[in-house]
Amino acid sequence: MTVVEIRIELKKGVADPEGKNTRKTLESLGFKGVNDVKTVKLFEVDMDLPADEAKAQAEEMCRKLLANPVIQNFRVSVR
């Protein structure tokens, strides 16, 4: 079994309202020194494939469903 980790994050310059609201809330709760918060989606996919095939399929999953290439970048790693 191969475990693939897929990390999806917004491209630079794309607004992240959830991250900004989280930072503001942390500040209002008294947490100091928090300059920025960015949201990231993380998928962990178990696959019955060799590592190279699993990575290739995970990248295809990102292109077809999991990531929006206009506003998001993705990174796939095999564990």
pLDDT in tens, 26-73: 999 999 999 999 999 999 999 999 999 999 999 999 999 999 999 999
Taking the C-alpha atoms of residue 47 and residue 76, their distance in angstroms, rounded to an integer, is 13
Domains detected in the chain: 1-14+40-79 (3.30.1280.10)
Q: How confident is the model at residue 24 (pLDDT cuts 50, 70, 90)?
A: very high
pLDDT for the residue 23: 98
Q: How confident is the model at residue 10 (pLDDT cuts 50, 70, 90)?
A: very high
pLDDT for the residue 67: 98
Mean residue pLDDT across the chain:
98
Taking the C-alpha atoms of residue 9 and residue 48, their distance in angstroms, rounded to an integer, is 26
